Amino acid sequence: EYEYNPLPIGKKARRKFVPDQEKDDRYWARRVKNNVAARRSRDMRRQKEIEISMKWKQLEKENARLREELQQLKDRASELEKKLSEKQAGH
């Protein structure tokens, strides 16, 4: 289950410019790996946002149902109290 855990917002590190002559195979392998990781991270964040939205909608529906049930129980309790009062007054 997802748990919201906000992190403090900090300043982004400045990108370090890499001159073309330093862009070797190791550099490009790291760039590809980072791009894949960034894409995966964004996809996971979007999925969590969708899950949270769906859970919110589910909880809103459940809350409405429970409020309706509560109102019905209050109405029933009121009816029974009225009947009890009438019965006690009749004695």
Q: What is the pLDDT of residue 17?
A: 80
**With bands split at pLDDT 50, 70 and 90, how would you rate the model's confidence at 1?**
low
Strand (E) or helix (H) holding 73: helix 25-90
Q: Give the Cα separation of 66 and 58 in Å (integer).
A: 12
Shortest CA distance to 45 belongs to which of 37, 55, 56?
Answer: 37
User: Chain centroid to CA 63: how far?
Assistant: 16
Dump pLDDT digits (tens) for 25-62.
999 999 999 999 999 999 999 999 999 999 999 999 99
Domain locations along the chain: 49-90
d(C-alpha 54, C-alpha 60), whole Å: 10
Q: What are the pLDDT digits (tens) for 69-85? A: 999 999 999 999 999 99
